[in-house]
Amino acid sequence: MEIQKLYDLDDIEFEDIAIGLVRLAKDVPAHEFFYKINQINGLTFSRKKDVIIHGAYYDYHFPRFEAYHKFTKTCFTFISNRSSESKQKKLQTELFTEEENIKFLLNNQVDVEYILHTSEQIPDFSVILLPENLVFPIQDYTLGSEEELYQIIQYYE
């Protein structure tokens, strides 16, 4: 008996993902930032397993923090845009490789500290209260299915 293919990947339409870009007004360590967020919200963000990207020369670790909203049953995830750790796998012998020991998830947004994602189709980031004078307003950003970060979020969701 032959197993029937349930779906064809070419027929699936990938929807864009809406995320929020979080820029800090001051240089604050992650533990202090999330301590302040947890103080003013009904949410409790905690550190989860890092997002790991495997490069040719380095493995990059991006801290991830999650919380669940009790009433809406929504999961909110903050992912650091900048790698906090990079483990060298092999020595670079080429002069002009495009891989460095620091990586950004959004290369065109290096001033963004965190990427905010929610499990909802239409995200409402206003549910999260952010500390005054510490964070700029959250900027909405749309990821297309062809972007690397889109694939990463889908994998860790």
Structural contact between residues 30 and 80, judged by C-beta atoms closer than 8 angstroms: yes
Residue numbers of the domain that contains 62: 27-156
Give how many domains the chain has, as a whole number.
1
Asked whether residue 4 is assigned to any structural domain, the reply reads no
Asked whether residue 3 is assigned to any structural domain, the reply reads no
Asked whether residue 117 is assigned to any structural domain, the reply reads yes
What's the pTM? 0.82
Asked whether residue 20 is assigned to any structural domain, the reply reads no
In this predicted model, what pLDDT tens digit does every residue of 117-144 receive, in sequence order?
988 877 778 878 888 889 999 999 998 8
Compute the chain's Rg from CA coordinates. Answer: 18
pLDDT at 78: 95
Asked whether residue 5 is assigned to any structural domain, the reply reads no
Name every residue whose Cβ is closer than 8 Å to that of residue 118 and which is 6 or more positions away in sequence: 74, 75, 76, 77, 124, 125
Neighbour tally for 36: CB within 10 Å: 17
Asked whether residue 43 is assigned to any structural domain, the reply reads yes
Asked whether residue 111 is assigned to any structural domain, the reply reads yes
pLDDT at 61: 95
